[in-house]
Structure 1
Amino acid sequence: MNAPRKLRSNFPRGSYLWAVRNAQWQAMGIPESDAEKPKIAVVNSSSELAACYSHLDQVAQQVKEAIRAAGGVPFEIRTAAPSDFVTGAGGRGAYMLAARDLVTNDIEVAVEGAQLDGMVCLTSCDKTVPGQLMAAARLNVPTILVPCGYQASGEYKGHHNDIEEVFIHSMHAQVGGATSVEEVVEMSRTAIRTPGVCSGLGTANTMHIVCEALGMALPGSAPVAALSDKMFADARAAGERIVQMVWDDLKPRDIMTAGAFANAVRAVLSIGGSLNAVKHLQAVATEGGTGVDVYGLFEQLGPVTPVLSGLRPIGEHLIEEFEAAGGCRALMKQLLPLLDAQARTVTGGTVADNLREARVADDEVIRPIERPVAPRPAIVLLRGNLAPDGALTKPGIVERKVRRFSGPAICFDTSDAAVAAIKDGTVRPGHVVVMRGAGACGGPAMGGGASRVVFAIDGAGLGEHVAMLTDGHLSGLVCKGLVVAEVAPESALGGPLALVRDGDTVTVDLDQRVVNLEVDEAELATRRQAWQPPTPMFDRGWLQIYRRNVGPLNQGAVLVKENGRP
């Protein structure tokens, strides 16, 4: 171990701060001899509301023991624990994304307020991962993230059954009747067999992989089965490593450089990961003051980054197969010619150092660059007069029959209205369904149920016959039809989507990467002048605070100074 340096958590013996803190710690059984050791936050989002978080106390215990053995003092702290399938019930789903920034602020209050020296963050469901990365970037104290694993799935009638299947078939039961309510009930009883995050390549597993690709998790730690021996071994290794990182003063901004963000973007593109990773990575870059344009990286690197693995929901391989093939480490080994190999990581070494001994156990699951699974990008960033700040679509890895769609718009301001119109046949083949008012401010927090509309379209058998545009976001498990999401600027702030009227021609072209409204500029200027902002939702509590202070998507939808919104 290197020679000790002055720690920010240490105060002069007998001073006010030393004395009152020592009194507190004596009552907790922490000896005075520990006062000079590195003090490490173990950031735990344990919760009994969802399987995603129900095992984290076990992980925290292992991490704390490892920190003590390495010469540090662990302090477990708690944060909000949002789970889309549970927390999404209230506030039209707005609490999900809004909780991401709450996690960041929870961490700041505890870690910065107590002047702790480092953090080990236990990552689980979708929003805790970026929330923890954002806090690491903001506070810039030595930090390691520990992926805490995916859940084991079950079977239904002899077929694989997971939370994605329950999600899809529950929507089919509501629209179209392809699945009965009784079948959905039976599927829900067998879909999840252990704690952990959704087993498909949704936002959670995508962001776990991002942690490693970004250099903020130990190599080889993502993805991992929850409660496996490997998960616990990785957790203990992180607890041991963080103490040395504190002595070395190895901080997140030393690791999360422009090259590291490019590596993470390449990783997401090469697996066709969740679209939500784009705004989450941008939020981390913004919090760290890096100046990195993550949306620009996806736009630039998307067409030249091969898709090397086809995991559910865009492909047929299971996350278990991806882990067995070598996981993120093997993926980065295949991508190595395209990566910034000199980017530093939490190991203290570089990406090249970490990959020197890496092996790909199955090159059908994680293919080499020269033999990709798809000829075109699985994630595409579009621009045009409807999305001057960008929009995202996920064509998947199956070659689409229709790559250019042009048709009359049919507009809705709520998901309920859109779903009702799909059910009663008002939405017909050839339509471009426009669902707006679901952006970061308008939703707020991108609540509003855009994913419901996608599954309603699919359940009605319209998936190949209509296109959809929304300023909302999609569940990381959504990969159906021609859907353009996160259209920016959002309609609630007067973005072009607010100006679309029923019958206007809208064109989406995947090859040209454009989304346009075929209305002349003079008419649009007239509409823009007549436009009035919608009445904002939620006038109290956390969602009001979020709505008033959230910034635009191209900054990651992070909380910024007061925007002067009502």
Structure 2
Amino acid sequence: KHADGKMSDEELYEIECEACPSGGSCSGMFTANSMNTLCEAMGVALPGNGTVLAMTPERIEMVKTAARRIVEMVMDENSAKWNMRNILNDKAVHNAFVVDMAMGGSSNTVLHMLSIAKEAGVDFDITQINTISENVAHIAKISPSLSTVHMDDINRAGGVNAVMKEVSRRGGILHTDAMTVTGETIGERIKDAVIKDPNIIHTNENAYSPVGGLSILFGNLAEEGAVVKTAGIAPSMRQFKGKAVCFNSQQEAIAGIVGHKVKAGDVVVIRYEGPKGGPGMQEMLAPTALIMGMGLGESVALITDGRFSGATRGASIGHVSPEAAEGGMIALIEDGDEIELDVDKHLLQLNVGYDVLEQRRLHFKPITKEIPSKWLKRYSLLVSNASNGAALKTEL
């Protein structure tokens, strides 16, 4: 709003001073809290890790409990059983995505969990996410997903344990026999959990959506997948067609959006921001915040081979793979091309004829950036795309 001349310097300064009192992570289901809650689901954190407020007696006691538990695990005569790989296994990864769907986590969780799965030696393909989503109801709608509910509300309503207990009622979707760092199974941990406020954590029967809060899209524009936080999309944007407005960096996009190059009905394309093209995937909060602040959140879609902040709302589609720097279709888009989005059909499509695209590919050369750091250069050469967890290749 400030960039669009709708807010004064004084009003902006007041918001800056008042918006973030106290300490801790952002109070919504942004990336930090998303991963904190998933750590509970994976059994590698104490109950309440994702929802208990910072700088409270409850959080201080949790720190002490965690410290005691670490010592107990080390002193256990059978301490080898507490090795991380024995807890963070295929069941833990599956449970993380179940909770992710139920709570509408940040799109960044997909990137992080795919990478964690690879490191843990778990065979998990990105296509499995949609299968999980189809069997998990979205029962907790938390800011910034068109909601005024925050993490302290979730904590008061029963926390992640209550979410897992409700999800487990569907039977077979949550691995309740998965082990946790406290020595109990997930089933034992959640057996006495209850929803204390059904207006905050809904039941399966009264879910915000019968399917999960994240979706993986496929199509000629995302042959290996792209991620969208469906929990944050207005119903009117679940199906959308628009004309492409292309930018080859986040900086270009910011200048273009502020300069009113983007109009209602457009699809903003930000490319060369993927793991290889970045290099790395810087958090792109500014373009999505500008689109929302300018009142275009329900009339403009955004796609990128980069990633977003957990604060992203609207039809913001990230992790488009293959990325532009590796010759993905996103690199061949031209201004004015029609792009189609259908969240319910898991579709992301460039509606341009095959012959036209093949002709463009004949003349295509990826944009290369000057990378002064030798380490970043090596990273760029070895990193996989986002649909493969942006993991470093060990085989060429």
TM score, norm. by length of structure 2: 0.92
How far residue 397 of structure 1 moved from its aligned partner, in angstroms, is 5.8
CA distance in 1, matches of 2:18, 2:336: 45
1:485 aligns with 2:310: no
Return closer, same or farther for 1:370/1:379 CA change in 2, 3 Å cut-off.
same
Deviates most, 176-185 or 369-378? 369-378
CA change 1:226–1:256 in 2 (3 A) is same
Q: Following the alignment from structure 1 to structure 2, what is the Cα–Cα distance between the partners of residues 304 and 541? A: 45
Matching residue within 50, 67, 71 for 1:243: 71
Structure 1 distance, partners of 2:375, 2:327, is 24
2:111 match:
279
3-state SS of paired residue (1:225): coil
For the 8 Å contact 1:263–1:339, the answer to whether it is kept is: yes
Equivalent residue number for residue 288 of structure 1 = 120
| Structure-1 separation of matches of 2:380 and 2:9 | 36
Confirm or deny: 8 A CA contact 1:374 1:398 kept in the other structure: no
Aligned counterpart, 2:279: 444
| 1:504 corresponds to which of 324, 334, 337 | 337
Could you tell me which residue of structure 1 aligns to residue 142 of structure 2? 311
2:62 to 225, 234, 242: 234
SS of 1:219's partner is coil
Aligned-residue offset at 1:430? 2.1
470-479 vs 549-558, greater mean Cα deviation: 549-558
CA distance in 2, matches of 1:398, 1:539: 39
1:538 correspondence with 2:346: no
- Counterpart CA distance in 1 for 2:279 and 2:266 is 26
1:297 pairs with 2:128: yes
* Contact 2:242/2:338 (8 A) holds in 1: yes
The residue number in structure 1 matching 2:8 is 180
RMSD over aligned Cα atoms? 2.0
% identical aligned pairs: 34
1:207 has 2:35 as partner: yes
| Cα distance between partner residues in 2 of 1:236 and 1:459 | 42
1:192 to partner: Cα distance: 2.6
Q: Report what 2:159 is aligned to.
A: 327
In structure 2, the residue matched to 1:423 is 258
C-alpha distance in 2 between matches for 1:188 and 1:541:
38
CA distance in 1, matches of 2:268, 2:288: 10
Matched, 1:396 2:236: no
Q: Distance in 2 between matches of 1:548 and 1:559?
A: 9
Amino acid at match of 2:178: A
Q: Which runs of 5+ in 1 are unaligned?
A: 1-171
Query: Aligned-pair distance for 1:256?
Result: 1.6
Please give the alpha-carbon distance, in whole angstroms, between the structure 2 residues aligned to 1:443 and 1:489. Answer: 14
The match for 1:454 among 266, 275, 288 is 288
Are positions 1:254 and 2:86 aligned together? yes
Which structure has the larger Rg?
1
Higher relative contact order, chain-length normalized (CA < 8 Å, sep 6+): 2
* Equivalent residues in 2 for 1:28-67, closer than 5 Å: none
Write the distance in 2 (CA, Å) between the matches of 1:531 and 1:228: 56
C-alpha spacing 1:221/1:461, structure 2 compared with 1 (3 Å) = closer
| Matches of 1:296 and 1:340, distance apart in 2 | 19
Match 2:17 to one of 182, 189, 192: 189
One-letter code of the match for 1:440? P
CA contact (8 A) 2:216 2:225 kept: yes
Residues 198, 405 of structure 1: alpha-carbon distance in 2 compared, 3 angstrom cutoff:
same
2:147 is equivalent to residue 341 of structure 1: no
Decide whether aligned partners of structure 1 residues 265 and 469 sit closer, same or farther in structure 2, where only a CA change above 3 A counts. Answer: same
The aligned residue for residue 552 of structure 1 is 385
Letter in 2 for 1:446: M
Task: Give the count of matched residue pairs.
Answer: 388
Structure 1 residue 375: Cα displacement: 4.8
Shift of 1:229: 1.7
Write the letter of the residue equivalent to 2:142. Answer: L
Name the CA shift for 1:524/1:373 in 2 (closer, same or farther; >3 Å). same
Q: CA deviation at 1:477?
A: 0.9
Give me the whole-angstrom Cα distance separating, in 2, the residues matched to 1:398 and 1:415: 22
SS of residue in 2 equivalent to 1:382? strand
Distance in 1, matches of 2:261 and 2:233, equals 29
CA displacement 1:449-474 (0-9 Å, x = unmatched): 64322222223332222222111111
Q: Which runs of 5+ in 2 are unaligned?
A: none
